[in-house]
Structure formats: C-alpha cells, structure tokens
Structure 1
Amino acid sequence: MLAALFSQRHLTRNILVAMALGIALGVGLNLLGVDAESPGFLVGQVFPTIGGIFVRLLQMMVVPLVLFSLMTGTAALDDVRKLGRIGIKTLAFYLGTTALAITIAIGLAVLVQPGAGFTLNYDHDFAVSESPPLAQVIMDIFPTNPIQAMAEGKMLQVIVFAILFGIAMCLAGEPGKRVLAIANDLNEIVMKLVMILMLAAPFGVFALVAKTFALEGLSAIVALGKYFGLVVVALAVHAFVSYGGILKLFTGLGVINFFKMMRRVQLFAFSTASSNATLPVSLENAEHNLGVKPSIASFTIPLGATVNMDGTAIMQGVATVFISQALGIDIGIQGYLMVILTATLASIGTAGVPGVGLIMLAMVFQQVGLPIAAITVIYGVDRLLDMARTAVNVTGDAVVSVIVAKSEGEFDQAVYDADEPEWQKD
C-alpha cells in the first residue's frame, strides 16, 4: 500500500496534496507568529533542510542531463545546417513570446491601474547587481574551461560545449558512432535516475511551500493585493490563452491535452521557483509525454530554462505601470515601448547572471526614469509571484519545443495524443 501511495502513477496527485498541506500549514504557522525574524526550529531548520535536499538533488541532475541529452540529440542530426535552423526558430519564438507577455502585462495594468490610490514608501536602500556589458555577456556564452563551466553550473556554456561536441561526433565517422552509443546509454541512465528522484517530490514540495507561506504569510498579499492579483491574472492569461493560441495556430494540436501533460512540470516549477531545478522534469516530460524527439527537446528545453523569461517579463510590465502610477509619473506610450524592448532583449542579455529578475527590473526602471529604490515596495511578495511565473516559464519552454519539433518533423503524434501521461501508466 505504501508503495502504491508513492508510485509514479499517483505522483501528480501526491504533489497536489503535499502542496495544499504545505500552504495550509505555512499560513497557520504564520498566523501563530512565525516570520523571518523568528522562524523557529521547524521553519528555520527542518523545512529548509528537506526542501534544500530535494532542490539539490534536482540541480545535481541538470548538468549531466543537459550534457548527454544535448550531445546525443545534436549528433543524431545528420545535417548540421538543420541545427542552425532549429536555433533560429527557437530563439525567434522565445523572444516573440516574451514581447507578447510584457505587452499583455502592460495592457492589463494600464486598464486596471493597480497603482491608483496606492501610497508609495520606498525610503530603503536597495542594492542590485550591475548587469555586465553586452560584449561581455556574449563572450561569457563560450567556455574557456568546459569542466569548470559544468562545476559552476553555467548552463549557456555547457550548452555550447555539448552542441560543439555533438557536431564533432556527427562528423567523426566510426569513432563518433562509438562515443554516441556510450552517450546514449549514459543518457538513459540519467533519465532513469530522474524518475527515481521524482518519488521524493511530495516531501520536497511540502517543505518548500510550507516554508514560503510560513515566512511570507498572507499579509504581504493583502497589502499589495491589486498588484499581486493583476500579476497572477496576467500570468494565467499568457499561460493559457497566449500559449494555447500559439500552439493551436502553429501546430493544430489539441491544447487541452498539452496542459494535461504539463501538470506535473508546472507543479514542480511552482514549488521550486527555479526553471533550472525543474529542467530534468521538463525534458523528461517533453520527450515522453509531449512527443518531442530528443534531438529537439535536448536543445530547446535547456535553452529555454536559461533564456526564456516570459513570467519575469510579465512581472516587469505590471511593476513598471504600478510604480509609475503610485508615483504619479506618466511614462507615456514611448516609455511603454521602451519597457517592451528592454525586457525582451534583457531576457537573453542577462541570462546566467545571479538575481536576474531584479537586474532586469532595475534596467527597465532606469530606461523609463523610475527610481530603482521603489523595487523594495514589491519585493515582499516577489517570492510568491516567482513561484507562479516560473510555472509560466516552463510552460513556454514546452510550447516552443512542440512547435519547433512539429515544424522539423521530429514529433511523435501518438505520444502527444496518449490518453494519460507516461508517469500515470502501469
């Protein structure tokens, strides 16, 4: 009975139950006086330890999963020119959806006016890391030491090395085929390890969610309720309407089936608030439940986890309008266009930089003349919103992967049309 409870078949149900229990316990503890100043042993030690171990186990899988899957996927492409075509399509869709996301956010914010009547107080110091020059960002994509890049988790550098190694395997003839066979075996083993780690997911999700709501509570949401609610609505519109429409338009596939297959990935993204930590689950889901062939998924999913930030772009759009309205500053149509352009380009330009969401928001504020210190006003609820926007980000990664795979003939229709996800089958 215990084995059935924690089996892959019931994993989605168990994660939902764990999340609900975590929220209930976290809010209850917060109402009893638990906060960041006095977290207590349970919230300060037990939950961070359990949740931290779970996230570390997921992060442990990221580099080997990306390395082997991208190597094998690239080597499987007989035509190297095909890889360039796939890359252009992928980046075009990622940039396009990011621009659409922030446009929707600004449009809703101008309509709803979340900052109207809000008394702004930002008399606090706010330090944000300075974003590097564009030339440095471009150079940092290419590793000087691939082993060091793997050790430090610099995913863009790992991606570049894996692609180049895969191309070399493709061009090396018989030696390349022998190495490819080994890489395929290693990739299968890594995927199996991911499935094993998934069994611990309900415990990790419970601890992470309980800790977050115990420390943040509902008071922060109430204080910034209009802003918080609008960001959530904008995220939902983009996740279901925009992505659903784009998927239907470019592929003709059933949208409902897509979201049914995405449930577990979205839950993982919500609980971890990290696209990189969710990457193993995203990649496994794209290949085994969405019908994306490994040659495509191994490129689009890791790249999306690194550069696709539609959820963050939505937060930036709403935050810019919210702060400008609270300060009584009219940034005008030109300012809104500048926000769209800056956030879209920054989604790639600041990839891999720590604290990327705040850096991007600071860059946007600078472009339209808003005080960077005002970021402190929304910082209190950002952790909760970060969970939701990460779920949107991974959804976008999957949508683009399916579109690119369908256009390249690297798509398995039978897998996509399955009545139930792979993890629910006996």
Structure 2
Amino acid sequence: MPSFSVQIVLGLVLGVLLGWVALSMGPVDGPDGETANWLTTTLDTIGSSFVTLLKAIVPPLVFTAIVASIANLRQVTNAARLAGQTLLWFAITSAISVSVGIGLGLLFQPGNASSLTPAEGSEPSGGGTWLDFLDGLIPGNYLGLGARTSLETGADGSASGASTSISFNVLQIVVIALVIGIAALKVGRKADPFIDLNRSALAVIQKVLWWVIRLAPLGTLGLIGNAIATYGWDLLAPLGTFALAIYTGLFVVLFVIYPIVLRSNGLKISSYFKGAWPAIQLAFVSRSSIGTLPVTQRVTERNLGVPREYASFAVPLAATTKMDGCASIYPAISAIFVAQIFGIDLSITDYLLIAFVSVVGSAATAGLTGALVMLTLTLSTLGLPLAGVGLLIAIDPILDMGRTAVNVAGQALVPTVVAKREGILDVEQYDSVNTEDLFVEDDTDADEVEDEVVAAPAAEERDLEPAR
C-alpha cells in the first residue's frame, strides 16, 4: 500500500487526466440548455462530498479540542500569553505578505496590461464591512449556527419557492468553546464529569475524522478534476498579467518569506514543508481553509511538534483570521489592478490603507471569511469602484487554489513559530518528520492518541511552561 502522500499525488495526477478528458467532452444539451457532462458531474460530486464531510466534522472537533486544551492548560494566564504572541505573529506575517503584494502590483502593472474596460465590471451582491467583526464574534446561538433563506425563481422570473441553508461560524464556535472551557475551570471539581465527557467525545471525533481523511486521495481526484473540467485556462487570457502577479506573490511568500521566518527562529525549512505539505496540498485542491482545518491541526500537532493544548486553540483561530493569500496578497494586487483599470492614481496613503486593511481586516471579516469579502472591504476603504470586483470573478477559482494553499501554510507556520519562541515546541519531533509516512495513522498510534486524550492530567500539574 503506497504512503498517504503518494496516494494524494496519484489522486492529483489521475484527477488532472480525468479533468482534461471531461473538458474535451464539453457540455451536453439538456431540457434547460447546456449542462455539464456525466464525467464532470461525477468529479464534482466526489470532490464536493469530500469537502462536505470535512466541514461536517469541524464544529464538534473545534469545540471539544478547545475545551480539552483549556482543561489541560489549567492556567488562563499562560494561554493568554500564547494567544497574544499568536495574534502578534498573525499581524507580522500579514504585514510582510501585503508588502509583497503591493510591490508586485506596482512591478507588474496588471491593470495597464489588461484588455478589460470599466464597462465590463459589475458590483458584487455582497461584501465585507468593518462592523462584520462584532457580528462574527458574538454568537447568535450556543452552536454557532446560522441560516440563510434564498428565493427560487421560475423560468418566467416569478418566485417559485424558497430554500434555507444552514452554516456554521468557526470564530463563534471558538469563542463559545473558550468561554465554556474557562467556566469549567472556574467551577472546579463539579465540572470534572463534563470535562471527562468532552475528552471522550474528542477521542471519538478524532477517530471519525481519520476515517474521513483516508478518503483524501479520492477527494483530491474529484476536486482537481472538476476544477480543470469546469474552468480550464481560457479565461486567463485577458487577465494573464494579473494572474501571474498573484501567483508570483503567493510563490514569494510561501517559498521565500516563510523560509526566512523559519530560519530566523532556528527552525529547519525542509522539516516544515515536509510536515505541513499534506495540509497545503489538500488546501490547494479543496480551496477551503475550513475544510482543510482538521488536516492542518493534525499536521501541526503530529508532524510539526506543536503541543495539542496550544494547537487546538491556535489553528482554528488561524483558519478564520490568518489568510495571507486571500487577505494580503490578493486584495493588494487587486486594488492596484482596479485603480489602473478605472484610471485612478493611488497615493502613499492609499497603499498604507491597503496594508492596514490586510493586517486588521482579516479579524474584521472573520465571520465572513473569503477573498471576495476582503476585496470589497479593501476597495470600499480606498473609495475604489466596487464594479471592479466583477472583472476578477471569472478567474477567481483558478486563483483561489493558490491563495488557499498559502492561507493554510501560514496557519500552520505561526503556531509552530510561536511554540518555538515560547520553548514548548517538540524540536525532536519537528526535525524527525518521516517523508514516507507523513500522515498515515496506524492502529497503534490511534490507541496512543485516544489514551492521551482520555487520561486527564492533575489540575495543579499541567501547564504549557517553557522547556527548561
């Protein structure tokens, strides 16, 4: 049986081949016009089903992991210090990333190199505002769930019904879990049955999670195959320079900036990429930081040596507020592109505003994470036409693959760096990543994980103090 990484690569290669086959088949005629062929539909179903399974496991995983981590920390002051360092490094890496984006935007001049005109743009139906932070932070219910109702229209344009979709807000779940975990600590021994139940639930959820993760090669096949079959590369022609600038920025941050951060903190670059690559790879094909969250948390703990007590808090928080691809590089270059298309000159103040929105805006839109939200927030802050968003939507899925990969890479990087600086990183584990068996969980390891979760440490003995 090939290793997990090899299975992922095989799924990626087969997905590319099937995607090109589906693309060559083209759409088919249906009663309502052209529809996707059977192969494209099959690839879409396989890929979307895998991401749906991953997202379904996120709410209980985040809640139980954070409550368990606080119960293990036992001292809120130590957690507060780690949280402060985490947010600081979020800001530092975001500031560097947006600087790269601004520099490449000025170098490539993507708007001047495009054949598009302002008349081809259109305003988005929704976007982000600075008030979204409070809406995203304050839970509307104890499950962090939300519902959205949309009207369905018939062929004549009249309303034919309504559909309601349920979603969850990871940031709200983080807040709820933090409050409940701290409350359980304050209650003391009376909360021990609840904490024990939470630990048992976490062990069960982790077992289910790994059943889902083992489907990743199949999910990769469907996701990358559907992306190629649906979008191809024809849409890149009028936005070629813009796309090149985006991917250059993503490459620089991932393979130049992050290695510099690692080396400056005494960490081996090769160990980081070996350890984090399964999550980065899955993020690229799934285009979902939230869907990749379980994998990101796993590689951060197991491959990179970050203590579970800290990783179970830092990684979910990063998945909602740490987006160097979507919130730094992309909106910076996009704002410059839109300004050039509409013939608007940007001043030094405008570039400083782009940097400010990048560093602070991720938190401000944490309840509505996504590149489109960050882009509309950036454009509205600068006073640029929101119609520019419509110019970029056509190739957004192609760009989103690279953006999400960089997002997830940063979400694993920051907890690793903070853990190293605080002296709590298992450096031996970090340096000894096995490239042939990165991600396979055998039965022995699963038993060890469950035993570790269920075995509750004494309240006065457990804390993430720096190594002496």
Alignment TM-score, normalising by the size of structure 1: 0.91
Could you tell me how far apart the structure 1 residues matched to 2:189 and 2:364 are?
39
Match of 1:125 among 122, 134, 141: 122
Asked whether 1:371 is paired with 2:368, we answer no
Whichever structure has more helix as a proportion of its residues is 1
Could you tell me how far apart the structure 1 residues matched to 2:5 and 2:190 are?
42
Corresponding residue number in structure 2 for 1:137:
133
Whichever structure has more strand as a proportion of its residues is 2
Match of 1:147 among 137, 143, 149: 143
Shift of 1:390: 0.7
Does structure 2 retain, via aligned residues, the 8 Å contact 1:68–1:183? yes
Corresponding residue number in structure 2 for 1:288:
302
Q: How does 1:4-403 map to 2 (within 5 A)?
A: 4-5=1-2, 10-34=3-27, 38-43=34-39, 45-121=41-117, 122-134=119-131, 137-138=133-134, 140-149=136-145, 152-249=167-264, 251-312=265-326, 313-353=328-368, 356-403=370-417
Shift of 1:377: 1.8
Does structure 1 retain, via aligned residues, the 8 Å contact 2:129–2:377? no
Could you tell me how far apart the structure 2 residues matched to 1:187 and 1:314 are?
36
SS in 2 for 1:172: helix
Shift of 1:56: 1.1
- How many residues are aligned here? 416
SS in 2 for 1:291: coil
Does structure 2 retain, via aligned residues, the 8 Å contact 1:27–1:218? no
User: Taking structure 1 as reference, are residues 320 and 218 closer, same or farther at Cα in structure 2, changes over 3 Å only?
Assistant: same
Shift of 1:323: 2.6
SS in 2 for 1:114: coil
Does structure 1 retain, via aligned residues, the 8 Å contact 2:321–2:363? yes
User: Taking structure 1 as reference, are residues 126 and 24 closer, same or farther at Cα in structure 2, changes over 3 Å only?
Assistant: farther
Does structure 2 retain, via aligned residues, the 8 Å contact 1:26–1:213? yes
Instruction: Give deviations 1:119-156, integer Å, cap 9, x for gaps.
Output: 2224343323143552x632541325213539741111
SS in 2 for 1:143: coil
Larger displacement relative to structure 2 (277-286 or 359-368): 359-368
Bigger Rg over Cα: 2
Could you tell me how far apart the structure 2 residues matched to 1:144 and 1:376 are?
32
SS in 2 for 1:348: helix
User: Taking structure 1 as reference, are residues 409 and 117 closer, same or farther at Cα in structure 2, changes over 3 Å only?
Assistant: closer
Does structure 1 retain, via aligned residues, the 8 Å contact 2:19–2:40? no
Which amino acid is the alignment partner of residue 423 of structure 1? F
Does structure 2 retain, via aligned residues, the 8 Å contact 1:235–1:389? yes
Which amino acid is the alignment partner of residue 254 of structure 2? A
Does structure 2 retain, via aligned residues, the 8 Å contact 1:295–1:410? no
Larger displacement relative to structure 2 (87-96 or 363-372): 363-372
Which amino acid is the alignment partner of residue 108 of structure 2? V
Shift of 1:275: 0.6
User: Taking structure 1 as reference, are residues 130 and 35 closer, same or farther at Cα in structure 2, changes over 3 Å only?
Assistant: farther
Shift of 1:412: 1.4
Which amino acid is the alignment partner of residue 388 of structure 1? G
Instruction: Say what the alpha-carbon RMSD is for the aligned residues.
Output: 2.3
Does structure 2 retain, via aligned residues, the 8 Å contact 1:34–1:215? no
User: Taking structure 1 as reference, are residues 424 and 154 closer, same or farther at Cα in structure 2, changes over 3 Å only?
Assistant: closer
Could you tell me how far apart the structure 2 residues matched to 1:183 and 1:86 are?
23
User: Taking structure 1 as reference, are residues 18 and 140 closer, same or farther at Cα in structure 2, changes over 3 Å only?
Assistant: closer
Identity of counterpart residues, as a percentage? 31
Does structure 2 retain, via aligned residues, the 8 Å contact 1:35–1:214? no
Which amino acid is the alignment partner of residue 82 of structure 1? N
Larger displacement relative to structure 2 (414-423 or 160-169): 414-423
User: Taking structure 1 as reference, are residues 34 and 16 closer, same or farther at Cα in structure 2, changes over 3 Å only?
Assistant: farther
Could you tell me how far apart the structure 1 residues matched to 2:199 and 2:284 are?
31
Larger displacement relative to structure 2 (416-425 or 386-395): 416-425
Does structure 2 retain, via aligned residues, the 8 Å contact 1:35–1:215? no
Could you tell me how far apart the structure 2 residues matched to 1:399 and 1:297 are?
11
Could you tell me how far apart the structure 2 residues matched to 1:302 and 1:96 are?
19
Q: Structure 2: which 5+ runs fail to align? A: 147-165, 443-468
